[in-house]
Structure 1
């Protein structure tokens, strides 16, 4: 049976990470949350007062950041930071840190190494365009801003974090603007990506649809 790489891109709050995780489980593939890598890097910058405008500080910081996944949860220098990287403080900074050329180059290099042997599901914003432009299946996920804000509020509440819906929506729209217009690896739909609007889909339906697309690529002659 052929093994493929699956790239899931799209806006914040479309369910990329949770969907990618379940797709990987259904196919017995490896799941990598690329967004968690950028969030963990952002958390390191915040904790260590790294000035993102200072090139030397950024370069030195990247040398001190060691990331790995344990049971699909991100570790930053040996510490599980899966919950801390989802706070609003990180939300407000992650798009700015992710737009830094050196940060993207380092993360993309690590991500490409992870996908060398295929059988990978990775979600993010530039997976199908930059990280794995040759991925056998590319999916671009969308949803309305209102739906995405409600989903993010619920996700935060489940982690014990209470945030106003209006603040969450404003943050999502700001991130859309930054991600879509940044110079380095902007958020765009790959020409050969299949678009999936999740606004009115159940979680099970969106997972099932992508698994169906994946199997058609896996078993095609």
Structure 2
């Protein structure tokens, strides 16, 4: 990360699965005219590529090799893996669960770290994930930890899946989320937790617009927002 990149402002939005961080990150970035990093997509893409290639995900070196060689392009709502739009496939629960399972592997995390930091370019970046504020961008001037109770998150995910034409069972989704939350929070490598200087927002009863407004209000209070970096 060069000196120019290190001076580019970043807003990190971390939180558990289905907390709405991706939607909020895109909306905040749109208002500010900034770029977006969906770090979870990189882990999901790695998981999907391993599935498609029949890679043994217990082989950490093999998983990391897949991640390093990913041919990926992000074009708006389209996510291209080796030229194929896999935006819908990477949101499949099987892929999400596998991504959560391989995420603690240090070789994989090291393989993706440089890729994630390369997204930092002017005028600014909104990065969402699970360790954006704690590991990837620890110098970010604004760090958000977005949380919501598991029932609210399961209902949101169930609605999203049904709107996209997928079958979904609320009870099963809640069970999967609780298991994923436990795995993400207790893993030895970069566990899901707020950065010490993060601002926690509970979106359980907030609308998308209300959550976006809360993030933008916090950004407006930072010294960096006064230096002309905000669109």
Q: What range is the shorter-chain TM-score in? A: over 0.9
2:25/2:128 contact within 8 Å kept: yes
How many angstroms apart in 2 are the aligned matches of 1:60 and 1:104?
11
Structure 1, unpaired ranges of 5+? none
Name the structure 1 match of 2:51. 46
Structure 2, unpaired ranges of 5+? 1-6
Classify 1:55/1:147 alpha carbon distance in 2 versus 1 (closer, same or farther; 3 Å). Answer: closer
Equivalence map 1:7-156=2 (5 Å) = 7-117=12-122, 119-156=124-161
Tell which deviates more after alignment, 205-214 or 115-124.
115-124
Give per-residue Cα distances to partners, 1:146-174, cap 9 Å, x unaligned.
00000000111121111110111111111
**Structure 1 residue 184: deviation in Å?**
1.7
TM-score (norm 1): 0.93
Name the structure 1 match of 2:225. 219
Classify 1:38/1:172 alpha carbon distance in 2 versus 1 (closer, same or farther; 3 Å). Answer: same
How many angstroms apart in 1 are the aligned matches of 2:129 and 2:38?
7
Q: Secondary structure at the match of 2:118?
A: helix
Equivalence map 1:181-220=2 (5 Å) = 181-217=186-222, 218-220=224-226
**Structure 1 residue 95: deviation in Å?**
0.5
* Number of residue pairs matched by the alignment: 220
2:80/2:87 contact within 8 Å kept: yes
TM-score (norm 2): 0.89
Q: Secondary structure at the match of 2:205?
A: coil
**Structure 1 residue 211: deviation in Å?**
1.2
**Structure 1 residue 68: deviation in Å?**
2.6
Q: Secondary structure at the match of 1:163?
A: coil
Classify 1:56/1:190 alpha carbon distance in 2 versus 1 (closer, same or farther; 3 Å). Answer: closer
